Chain A
């Protein structure tokens, strides 16, 4: 089953590398994993946590090297105890472990949709450089599309359809990269306009 995931996931390796590279181009931390292992570990973690949650036990500790946030020193174990992150960078450091938790806490939501800061942030700028033609996207449509995909992703993971999940995850990453494109100096995403 897991080999299938690897094989299935490999086809998307190239794309993920791009987005990761874009993100890491501005992030001060060096790359720790190849994207495909990252992707795989997410599903393994999701699976083990889901099983543990169903069984009523505590989730199996994910075998991820980045067990500590390099910026503030918070360990994942400390986070599990307090429920609180130490700094904004913790979200990057613990991204793999967090994904299934977030999905459960937010009705399957794993990616932000909605308002974004008015000032262009360095990361948003860098990400937007990789997606050239996003201004044509209707933000409302995109929000809906993201929500649908997130739901499908959760369903695929629940049904252990990892190959399908990998595809959806890629699609999400692609859409998301595009989404940051709209972060112009004064433009706003859909949620902020109500």
Chain B
């Protein structure tokens, strides 16, 4: 690790896990987290593919000063992502505060500017694209990426099925960032968003225009996987113009039966309608299917279910080497055991926390040392064994 700056995250904060993984919100047995994000661009600038380095810097500074002073939260953390240690960038991806692309410095429509694997030797390029993220502290529920695909990507991430709450909050944050409107608006350094009355909020990619809203939930659907009904859900969601993605977001396969479902339509429907359809109609149905599958398994295939979840717990308690994928998959099975009431010796919260702590950057930060992949496998297994000790 040759990070030029000290970490922006304390070890205590890292170890504490993330609020969105607390398993405290509504329907937490199925819905891990709810996320609402808005894509916005600052009027008067081109989108990022067409900006000059000077303009990018200007956008960054404009947004940073706005985000840190407009009253989003009592305390805001700002990270210059292009100057952050590689470990911090990965840490933020694992905490879902920034996207992988933002960590890597992928120029939209362009090439990777920074080395991908933060846990390996990071090779800083000559001029990393200036970009940043603002995060509300201590809950980290609001995070705003600057100079990602759009100038601004605002997100609110909450535990459980809390989309209305998340939407209310993001709507408020959006207003704060934009600043006071109307004739009374003082000449504060407010932002003017790129907007047209026909197309709505203008975004770099036409798939986001209009409301610029993406509403998504992370669901844990091991029951549907076991009963072989996951394909049905995939087909149904596709028919409803929804996207299904894996734990790690766009382009990732489902790991550990965690799925992210999100809307794709952003034009022609108001936010309220999108949100209502998603939160009141679609997601409750999926939750219902998953619970029915779990009940079916408990009633008709109990042995199979017990075997699966206890086998996973056994492996985690005795394994000497664990990859992050295997850990996530086994923790998913144990989580199924916990939420169905079969496993009583471990809590859902402990499982959720381990899901985060077994990921590469978290593991290294918690153990306080940099490790290569082989060392991490060993340390990961050690940590899990210790935490789940019988």
Binding site for B on A (CB under 8 A): 71-74, 82-88, 91-92, 98, 101-102, 105-121, 123-124, 127, 143, 146-147, 150, 176-177, 179-180, 183-186, 189-194
B residues near A106, Cβ cutoff 8 Å: 210, 264-268
B residues near A190, Cβ cutoff 8 Å: 270, 272
Are the CB atoms of A112 and B210 closer together than 8 Å? yes
B49 — nearest CB in chain A belongs to which residue? A84
Q: Which of B97-144 contact A (CB under 8 A)?
A: 108-109
Query: Does B251 lie at the interface of the complex (its beta carbon under 8 Å from any beta carbon of A)?
Result: no
Are the CB atoms of A87 and B268 closer together than 8 Å? no
A102 to B203, CA, bound (A): 13
Instruction: Tell me whether A191 and B211 are in contact in the complex, defined as CB-CB below 8 angstroms, given that A109-B268, A113-B268 are known contacts.
Output: yes
Name, among A72, A82, A85, A192, the residue most crowded by chain B CB atoms within 10 Å (CB to CB).
A85
Are the CB atoms of A114 and B197 closer together than 8 Å? no
**Chain B: interface residue total (CB-CB under 8 A):** 58
B residues near A191, Cβ cutoff 8 Å: 211, 270-274
Are the CB atoms of A112 and B211 closer together than 8 Å? yes
A116 to B171, CA, bound (A): 11
A residues near B274, Cβ cutoff 8 Å: 191
B residues near A112, Cβ cutoff 8 Å: 196-201, 209-211, 267-268
B residues near A146, Cβ cutoff 8 Å: 268
Contact of B273 among A83, A85, A143, A193 (CB under 8 A): A143
Are the CB atoms of A115 and B211 closer together than 8 Å? yes
A84-B49, A117-B181 known, 8 other contacts, Cβ within 8 Å = A112-B210, A114-B200, A114-B272, A117-B195, A121-B43, A123-B197, A191-B270, A191-B273
Binding site for A on B (CB under 8 A): 41, 43, 45-47, 49-50, 108-109, 149, 164, 167-168, 171, 174-175, 178-185, 190, 192-207, 209-211, 213, 241, 264-275
* Whole-angstrom distance between the Cβ of A62 and the nearest chain B Cβ: 15
A residues near B109, Cβ cutoff 8 Å: 82-84
Name, among A71, A109, A179, A193, the residue most crowded by chain B CB atoms within 10 Å (CB to CB).
A109
B193 — nearest CB in chain A belongs to which residue? A117
Contact of B200 among A83, A108, A116, A184 (CB under 8 A): A116
Contact of B47 among A85, A108, A186 (CB under 8 A): A85
A73 — nearest CB in chain B belongs to which residue? B50
A38 to B211, CA, bound (A): 26
Are the CB atoms of A115 and B271 closer together than 8 Å? yes
Are the CB atoms of A111 and B211 closer together than 8 Å? no
A183 to B200, CA, bound (A): 12
A148 to B266, CA, bound (A): 16
Are the CB atoms of A143 and B270 closer together than 8 Å? yes
A120 to B193, CA, bound (A): 11
A123 to B194, CA, bound (A): 11
A193 to B184, CA, bound (A): 21
A88 to B193, CA, bound (A): 10
* Whole-angstrom distance between the Cβ of B197 and the nearest chain A Cβ: 4
B residues near A91, Cβ cutoff 8 Å: 196, 199, 202, 206, 209
B residues near A114, Cβ cutoff 8 Å: 200, 210-211, 213, 269-272
Contact of B267 among A92, A102, A184 (CB under 8 A): A102
A55 to B207, CA, bound (A): 22
Contact of A194 among B167, B181, B202, B206 (CB under 8 A): B167
A residues near B211, Cβ cutoff 8 Å: 112, 114-115, 191
B268 — nearest CB in chain A belongs to which residue? A109
